[in-house]
Amino acid sequence: MSKHALTMIIAIWIVSSLLFLLLGSGGDLDFVWRFRVNKWLALNFVGVSVALATFLFQTVSQSRVLTPAIMGLDSVFLLFNVLLIGILGGAEYAKISGSIKFFLQVVLMMLFAVAVFGLLVRRFSMDISRLLLIGIALGLLIQSLVEFFARLITPEDFSLFQGIAFAQFNRVQTELLGVVAGVLLFVILMLWRIYPAIDIYRLGRNSAINLGIPYIKMTTNLLMLVAILVSASTALVGPIFFFGLLITAIVFALFPTARSGSFMIMAAFIGAISLVGGQAIFEHVLGLASTLSVVIEFIGGLVFFMLLLKSRKSN
C-alpha cells in the first residue's frame, strides 16, 4: 500500500465526515456537537468493527465469501436478546444497563465463535463448500429459533425486539459509545501486536505450523476478536449482513497484494467512509427518502453472488 493511496483514503474520510457533520447545520457548531458528533462516532466505530471482523473471519476460514453474519454469528445476538426479552419482559429488559447487556453478548458470542466456528474451521478448512453449507445451515437454525421465540412474546415485547432486530443507522445506541470505544481500542492494540503473524497465518494451516505459528491458539484468538468486534457493531446499530463482505471485496479489488496490516487499515477507513458518507447523503441530501442499510445489503448481496460465481468458475 502506497502512502499516496493512504493519504487519498484519509482525505476522503475527512471530507465525508465534514459533510455528515456540517451539511444542513447552518454552521451551528452547538447543534453539530449535541446531535451529530455521537452518531458520527458510532458510524465510524461500526464501519471499523465490521470491516476488521470480516477480514479476520475470512483469514481464519481461508475464504473471501464467508463473513461472521453469513455463518450466523449475528443471529446469536438476536437469539440472546429475544430470550432475554421473553424471560424478563420488555419493561425489565429496558431497565437493564446497556453495558451489562453488551458484556453478556460479548461473552456468549465469544463462546459460540470459539466452540462452533473453531471446530468447523479446523475440520473443514480445506473444504470451503462444506464449511459454507454448514455455516449457513447453522445460521438458519439459529434464525428459526429466533423467529420461534419471537412468536411467543407479547406484541408489545415483539415491537421492542423489532427495534433491535434490524440495522438502524438513523438511531444508534450512543450510550454505549464509551464502552465500544474501549473495546475497539483493545482489539486494535491486539491486532497491532500480532499483524505480522497474521501474514504467515494467511499462508494456510500447514505453512503456518511449519513457520512456527501456534495454529489452534491463533485461530481461537482471532475468532474471539471477531466475536468482540461483531458484538460492538451489533450493539450500536443492530445486525448487518453483507456490509463487511462488500468492504473486503472493495479492498481486495483495489489492493490485491496488500499485507495484513495495510489491508486492515484500508478496510477500516473504507468501512467508515461508506457509513459516514452514505448516511450524510441519505440523511442530509435525500431527506431519509430511503435507508442506507437497505442499499448496503442489496449491493453486498450482489457482491456475494458474484464472488460465489467467481469461486465456482476458478474451481
Q: What is the CATH number of the domain that holds 296?
A: 1.10.3470.10
Assigned domain for 278 exists: yes
Q: Which pTM was predicted?
A: 0.86
C-alpha cell at 140: 438458519
User: Could you give the residue ranges of the DSSP H alpha helices within 202-259?
Assistant: 205-210, 215-237, 243-254
Assigned domain for 18 exists: no
Assigned domain for 1 exists: no
Cα angle value 278/283/277 (rounded, 5°): 20
Assigned domain for 51 exists: yes
Assigned domain for 174 exists: yes
Assigned domain for 14 exists: no
Assigned domain for 189 exists: yes
Positions of E strands within the chain:
none
- How many domains, in total, are found in the chain? 1
C-alpha cell at 238: 443492530
Write out the chain's pLDDT in tens, 315 residues.
Answer: 567 888 898 999 999 988 888 877 666 677 677 778 888 898 999 999 999 999 998 888 887 877 887 777 778 888 888 888 888 887 888 788 777 888 888 888 888 777 777 677 666 655 556 766 777 788 788 888 888 888 888 888 888 887 777 666 666 777 778 888 998 999 999 999 888 889 888 887 788 888 888 888 888 888 888 888 988 888 888 778 788 888 998 888 888 888 888 899 999 999 999 888 888 887 777 665 557 777 777 777 787 777 767 765 555
Q: Which structural domain range is residue 199 located in? A: 35-314
List of long-range contacts for 291-300, beta carbons under 8 Å, 24+ apart: 291/169, 291/170, 292/169, 293/166, 293/167, 293/168, 293/169, 293/240, 296/240, 296/242, 296/243, 296/246, 297/167, 297/240, 297/241, 297/242, 297/243, 299/242, 299/246, 300/241, 300/242, 300/243, 300/245, 300/246
Assigned domain for 309 exists: yes
CA distance 93 to 83: 10
